[in-house]
Amino acid sequence: MSVRFQSLPVVDISGLASADLGDRRRVAEGLGKAAREVGFLYVTGHGLPDALCAELRAAAADFFALPLERKMESYIARSANHSGYVPEGEEVFDSGKIDKKEAYDVNLDLPEAGDEAPMLGPTLWPELPGFKAAVGSYYAAVAALARRLFGGFALALGLEEDHFAAHLTRPPSQLRLVHYPYDPAALDQEGIGAHTDYEFFTILSVTAPGLEVRNGAGEWIDAPPIDGALVVNIGDMLEVWTNGQFRATAHRVRKVAEERYSFPFFATVDYFTRVAPAAAFVTPAQPARFAPLISGEHLWAQTVKTFRYLACLRSGDST
């Protein structure tokens, strides 16, 4: 990236809900500028009710406060669609480093899905009163917000507003409830190491500071929570689709100074969607920079590389 930003832009997206196309285009202009120059932004006017967000936070706190043996009853390996509890140490990245966090992963709940593809199926819910209602309601609301943002990004790219709609029938978008415990003994251990997100974009709600974003000069810029705002960042697959017009920017969570909860929603498209630079962004002067991939297959391949319970798939052992 070429932009040496020192803070994230703020975009009021309330106009995306307007019946006036001009209002939606004005929001799209701000979205496009942030996506091209920074890859990260705060969004206000998103319409997610405060009460819904509070119920999500309370459900997460209740679950993560359970004894480990209770949480392991919902261990992600027990699920049919890669959902459930992710204990600390379950995820191991290429560096071999273990992030200081635990999580609960919630996917699109498809009880009727068969064995058509990994990540498509019924969500594993814990036996905890109120958890499914609170988390499921938030999932539905943030998924609707993601659809509006898909339309806004399409307008920002000069495409038809419904450009992505045909690919959003049953997207395996994932909501993660992430708990970063405060551990003063973990002197220099990051909450999560530097990375970009695999999907199209992420919608993030957090309870405390810790997020840092890398600018074009290689500097880590603090991105603290702003009251009433969500963070949105561009993911790898939207960078591919736009042939690099939109940027997936590296970010990390530094060692936290207090207990922290994070709720990223990784917005993606339908499992079997072919993701490649769109024709509108490929010219003789700007040839395609990325090879095509299949959305869900790419996500599953990255997941298999990361999760310990899927180690047998990495080794080719199907037993």
Blockwise average pLDDT, block size 10, the chain, 319 residues: 82 98 98 95 97 97 98 96 95 72 95 86 97 98 98 98 97 96 63 80 94 90 94 96 94 80 97 97 96 96 92 61
Residue 317: the pLDDT is: 46
Residue 93: the pLDDT is: 72
Residue 216: the pLDDT is: 87
Residue 121: the pLDDT is: 94
Residue 316: the pLDDT is: 52
Q: What is the largest CA-CA distance in the chain?
A: 59
Residue 191: the pLDDT is: 53
Residue 275: the pLDDT is: 98
Residue boundaries of the structural domains of the chain: 10-314
Residue 128: the pLDDT is: 98
User: What CATH class has 10-314?
Assistant: mainly beta
Residue 82: the pLDDT is: 95
Q: What is the pTM of this model?
A: 0.93
